[in-house]
Structure 1
Amino acid sequence: MLKVIFLAAFAVGTVLADGELIILNNPGSVHFEGSQATNQSFLKEVFTVVLGYTPKLTQPWDGVEIRDPFLLPEALVSIVIEGVESVKSPRGKHFPLNVDEVEEVTWQAVSRRLEERDTNNTLVRIRVGDGLDALGQSALGELKPNSVDPASLKHLSLNNEEDQKFIEELQLLRAIAQKIPSTVTANSKPDVYWFVVSGLRPVMDLHGKDSEATKEALKLLNDAVNDLSNAFTDIYNGQVVVALFTNDANKLRNTRSVESPRVRREEKAGELETFDAAAQNSSDNLNTIEKPITLRLSKRYSANYPVIFNIFLWFGIVFFFSLLAICIAIAGMDPGRDSIIYRMTSNRMKKDN
């Protein structure tokens, strides 16, 4: 029954795909391919799989393949663009995304699953739309964005509140990208960095989706995202998955989803403060998706696992053939009368008088 529900929801969501997933960077051990759509509620499975954890749903999406389980990404960087369907990025691999839950639900599921297995992971979520005053001393250190020259803007204007707020978000993204080399350190623990941009939608509403100002805003956004992606890629030597996805929560409010519980948002400083009681009282079938499962969890292997495995493997092989050669040599040895083998095996053992 649950499988039928999933298939029905997926079929409806494929037709009404209202989002986009873009993989801006991925190491060779993780491969993304095809153009199959996926639900945002499945992203928690995809993100935890690429970090080396066992998914709670079996093969939720065919677009990702783990090619080397011993060289998995060391970090996941997720950039969420709220309120839009696409950012028209010229980079990365694009997949249709069916938005069926708000981004914070996805973030909480990913962070919770990592915390269940290890409490030493770096988990950072920043809403750049809160502004520098709200962020204060962020998890990435003190941020000092550069000012923008109004003359550098062709169609956007700092005199418009919507344009100014959007430009401030982009400058914060660039400031974060500049801060990464001095604050982020790669280690054997999988890290998650989550950034939320919400200022693009007001710009599009003000100027129009097809206006020159919107086109300029999209270009500036993609440039800032590329700076952020390149900074994380450099610090992790390419062993990082950088994913961007769009999320229009306004459409989600008017759409019922069979996979995800209903969620209500309270607008307070742009943050999602409380969730509907249905998120805690979902049906038994849905709880099997969200409820933490302690069975069939994969073991987290360290970077030294291949080395130790090869040591034991080749030592065992050499030891086996060495023992086999010794046994063959002893079996073919001539038991002379002066040999201890003759003395111990002769039926007429001589005794000293």
Structure 2
Amino acid sequence: MYFLFKYICLLCITFNAYIECGEITVNYAPSSLRFGSAGSLHTSEFDDVITTCMGYTPESLTWRGLTVTSAFKYPVASVVFGLKTEGVSIKIEGISYELKEDVSLSKTFDSVKSLIASRARRPVHFEKINVLDLVNKIEGLALPKAKHLNRHNAVDYLFLQEISTFPLITDFIKKNSSASNNGQDIIFIQVESFAPLVVTYGAASPQTSYNLAAEYGEDFPVIFNIVLILSIILIVAIIAVSVSMAFMDPGRDSIIYRMTNPRMKKDQ
């Protein structure tokens, strides 16, 4: 399994449906591929990137972010994970590039399939998986435990359903893989339920209009206790001094005694 994973190219794509742009992140790539600094990438060029990664030289690749360092260690699989985020930025480990969507991811898959299938000399397994379609076909999914999501909410429930299909997708890919038979796998996975989740709970959701209290820092309890204890000590000290002065016997030789003695006042 480690040997197989060593030669897999994993790419994660996030789309913003409103402005038709997004981001592509190369989450993992073998040592035979080097992704460096480059400008934005159009989805119409993405099929050329995939075919180049798999060892099939395209007619023209204008994007300069990919360099093939070895012609003898091409990946045995490319996995593309598509996610619509409705403009929310997601931090994914790897190197990222701006992605401009001028064609759909589905058309990109069809183009990759057409290019590789016409030139391949070994078995190639192509799989395009829409997780939402898979959810509708499977009955009795065991939903994962959710701490912050409500299963009775339709949006949350759909997201949990899609998450629960991932182990099934993994088993399906392993069962139908051509990589174990000296072939290659091209896998496109599209997740649909994350976008409604962002609309419901994201920055533009109705929940953000609540007048919520500000969050305090980690040092707040310590500082609060110090101020509280010092305030209590100061108040107790003031009360003690005031009480002691109220019941203090000034004595006959004190100026207080002389100023308050009626006899001295009369003499004056």
TM (norm. structure 1) is 0.48
1:42 aligns with 2:42: no
1:127 aligns with 2:145: no
Moved over 4 A (4+): 178-183
Q: CA deviation at 1:24?
A: 0.9
1:148 aligns with 2:144: yes
Q: CA deviation at 1:19?
A: 0.4
Q: Quick one: which of 75, 78, 101 aligns to 1:76?
A: 78
CA distance in 2, matches of 1:69, 1:98: 29
Q: CA deviation at 1:147?
A: 2.2
Deviations 1:115-161 (A, max 9, x none): 1123831011110011334269xxxxxxx854222xx322x221111
CA distance in 2, matches of 1:117, 1:157: 49
Q: CA deviation at 1:177?
A: 3.0
Q: CA deviation at 1:84?
A: 3.3
State the superposition RMSD in angstroms. 2.8
Q: Does the residue aligned with 1:62 lie in a helix, a strand or coil?
A: coil
1:191 aligns with 2:199: no
Q: Does the residue aligned with 1:31 lie in a helix, a strand or coil?
A: strand
- Where does residue 177 of structure 1 map in the other structure? 170
Q: CA deviation at 1:180?
A: 4.8
Q: Quick one: which of 94, 97, 108 aligns to 1:95?
A: 97
Q: Does the residue aligned with 1:84 lie in a helix, a strand or coil?
A: coil
- Where does residue 35 of structure 2 map in the other structure? 32
Q: Quick one: which of 198, 223, 232 aligns to 1:204?
A: 198
Q: CA deviation at 1:174?
A: 3.4
Deviations 1:6-36 (A, max 9, x none): xxxxxxxxxx772000111100000111152
Q: Does the residue aligned with 1:186 lie in a helix, a strand or coil?
A: helix
- Where does residue 332 of structure 1 map in the other structure? none
Deviations 1:273-326 (A, max 9, x none): xxxxxxxxxxxxxxxxxxxxxxxxxxxxxxxxxxxxxxxxxxxxxxxxxxxxxx
Q: Quick one: which of 100, 105, 108 aligns to 1:106?
A: 108
CA contact (8 A) 1:129 1:199 kept: yes
**Which has the greater radius of gyration?**
2
CA contact (8 A) 2:33 2:53 kept: yes
When residues 169 and 207 of structure 1 are mapped into structure 2, their CA distance, relative to the original with a 3 A threshold, is same
CA distance in 1, matches of 2:25, 2:88: 10
CA distance in 2, matches of 1:31, 1:200: 30
Task: Give identity over the alignment, percent.
Answer: 22
Q: Does the residue aligned with 2:51 lie in a helix, a strand or coil?
A: helix
1:204-283 alignment, distance < 5 Å: 204-209=198-203
More displaced stretch, 20-29 vs 164-173:
164-173
TM (norm. structure 2) is 0.62
When residues 60 and 179 of structure 1 are mapped into structure 2, their CA distance, relative to the original with a 3 A threshold, is same
Q: CA deviation at 1:178?
A: 5.2
When residues 199 and 87 of structure 1 are mapped into structure 2, their CA distance, relative to the original with a 3 A threshold, is farther
Higher relative contact order (CA 8 A, sep 6+): 1
Q: CA deviation at 1:166?
A: 1.4
Q: CA deviation at 1:61?
A: 0.8
Q: Which amino acid aligns with 2:191?
A: V
- Where does residue 22 of structure 1 map in the other structure? 25
CA distance in 1, matches of 2:97, 2:163: 24
More displaced stretch, 95-104 vs 186-195:
186-195
CA distance in 2, matches of 1:36, 1:69: 25
Q: Which runs of 5+ in 1 are unaligned?
A: 1-15, 137-143, 214-353
Q: Does the residue aligned with 2:25 lie in a helix, a strand or coil?
A: strand
